[in-house]
Amino acid sequence: MGNLRIAILLRTAEGCLWTLPQIDELRRRDHEVIAILPAGPGALRDQLRARGVETLDSPFDFRFRPTPGTVRGLWRLRRLLRGLRPDVLNYHLYAAALAARVAAFRLPLHRVHMVAGPLYLESPVVRPVERLLWRLDDLIICCTQHISTHYQALGCPAERRPVAQYGVDLGHFDPARVASGPAASARASVRAELGLDDDVFVALMVANTYTPKRIAFPGQNIKGHDVLLEAWRDFHAAHPRSRLLMVGVGFTGAGEAHRRRLMDMFADDRSVVWLGRLPDLRPYFLAADVNVTPSLSEGSNGVVREASAMGCPSVVSDAGGLPEAVDDSFAWIVPRGDPAALREALSAAHRAFAAGDLAAMGRRAREHALRAFDRTAAAEAVADMMTRRRPRDRAADVPVP
């Protein structure tokens, strides 16, 4: 396909930064890209404007409430799309997908849904609805095979659910380029700042805190903070020269309130260090002996990929696409939501630490990242999929009024 006009609908002006390499690649190919975002400031809007990408405010706020305002917002979004006349409409995150499917119904454009995470597909309420609604997408680009398999179970044919991962900036996440000095110096500097000797075993968790969701895993924190903290108490009792670094803040005010509750629950445990948001994670990956990602639901998870690129082995749950990002030569995979299994994996990592085996595992993690996580290759794959039309068997689709 030649030069295209591509509208990208996003439900946030702050996050979804993973779209930037894709947008850069589309523009490198001389396609015109227009981003439609919620009104207001945000890191994504700033990055797009710095690149000279046209940004428009969405007339719909991505909140589906049974009010006349919802209908008006969707109608205005439809009118905006009709005026833009894009060849391709690309949308990320489920609320944006729902809005796009309604607002662009029967408009003459190619609909591309890129799926970042499987949480809505794990909901017993949403999944039956999605069995019908996916048919309004011309293409569903899945960031993991796990997500593609979910859509297979909903009846989506293989050609309409290809897999294209999100990549990592391997030049930035490179142990040799941290603080313009050797990695050993960066590790020592962070440990000195935190008051940690080199013989202290350090585990690192990087994840914002979310309030428990209603649609899936009700009452549970989907990033697994609670699971790790429960496992950590017993692990630290057996290995007192250990520390757990918790990096991240609450996602929204409610998420921060949940994080504060966790901090209060573990206020008497000096082995848990709460670091909040950090401007640069790379020195902390070097300072840590193992990265821990104990999610209950997960897409591709950039943290695990970044940790691998920095030569840090990982302990991950078997949620979503996490097992696709690692192998057992540099990682431990445990059942999600299982504190006992997580504690055993931490103990195995500690044994590797004591035996001096983690450095070799870290090198294998870095080698794997160089082979599998190149950001440029990932963006090229997405751009290829997004701009290549495929014939649709519309007879197989269920019409949705």
pLDDT for 258-317, tens place per residue? 889 889 988 888 999 999 889 999 999 999 999 999 999 999 889 999 999 999 999 999
Per the CATH hierarchy, to which homologous superfamily does domain 175-373 belong? Answer: Glycogen Phosphorylase B; (3.40.50.2000)
Q: What is the CA radius of gyration of the chain?
A: 22
Q: Give 236-250 pLDDT, tens digit per residue.
A: 999 999 999 999 988
Q: Give 144-165 pLDDT, tens digit per residue.
A: 999 999 999 999 999 999 999 8
Q: Please report which confidence band the pLDDT of residue 398 belongs to, taking 50, 70 and 90 as the band edges.
A: very low
Long-range contacts of 35-39 (CB under 8 A, 24+ apart): 35/7, 35/8, 35/10, 36/7, 36/8, 36/9, 36/10, 36/77, 36/80, 37/10, 37/12, 37/13, 38/10, 38/11, 38/12, 38/13, 38/62, 39/13
Q: Name which of 233, 203, 245 is nearest 353 in CA terms.
A: 203
Q: In Å, what is the CA distance from 161 to each residue of 104, 115, 154, 241, 391? A: 20, 10, 11, 47, 14
Q: What is the pLDDT of residue 289?
A: 98
**By mean pLDDT, which of 21-30, 33-42, 226-235, 261-270 is the weakest?**
261-270
Q: pTM for the whole thing?
A: 0.90
Whether residue 395 has pLDDT greater than 80? no
- Mean pLDDT over 118-128 rounds to 93
Whether residue 198 has pLDDT greater than 70? yes
Domains in the chain: boundaries: 5-167+376-396, 175-373
How far separated are the first and last CA of the chain, in Å rounded?
A: 30
Q: What is the pLDDT of residue 389?
A: 64
Q: Starting at the earlier edge strand, list the strands of the sheet with 54-57.
A: 54-57, 32-37, 5-10, 88-92, 110-115, 139-142
The number of angstroms, rounded, from the C-alpha of 257 to the middle of its chain's C-alpha atoms is 22
Contact indicator for 330, 348 with CB cutoff of 8 Å? no
Q: Give 172-191 pLDDT, tens digit per residue.
A: 999 988 855 666 788 999 99
- Mean pLDDT over 88-116 rounds to 97
Angle CA(375)–CA(376)–CA(382) in degrees, nearest 5?
Answer: 90
Amino acid (1-letter code) at residue 176: A
CATH architecture assigned to 5-167+376-396: 3-Layer(aba) Sandwich (3.40)
Task: Go through the chain and tell me how many residues it has.
Answer: 401
- Give the percent of the chain with pLDDT over 70: 94
Looking up tokens 């160089």 gives 370
Spatial neighbors of 209 by CB under 8 A, at least 6 apart, are 221, 223, 225, 248, 249, 250, 251, 255, 256, 258, 259, 262
The token pair at 318 is: 């078997």
Paired strand residues for 331: 314
Q: Please report which confidence band the pLDDT of residue 391 belongs to, taking 50, 70 and 90 as the band edges.
A: very low
**Alpha carbon distance 251, 354 (integer Å):** 36
Q: Do 5-167+376-396 and 175-373 have matching folds?
A: yes
Q: What is the pLDDT of residue 180?
A: 56
DSSP codes joined into one string, 148-208: HHHHHHTT--GGGS-B----B-TTTS-GGGGGGS-HHHHHHHHHHHHT--TTSEEEEEE--
- Supply the mean pLDDT for the chain: 92
Contact indicator for 323, 212 with CB cutoff of 8 Å? no
Q: Please report which confidence band the pLDDT of residue 218 belongs to, taking 50, 70 and 90 as the band edges.
A: confident
Q: Please report which confidence band the pLDDT of residue 254 belongs to, taking 50, 70 and 90 as the band edges.
A: confident
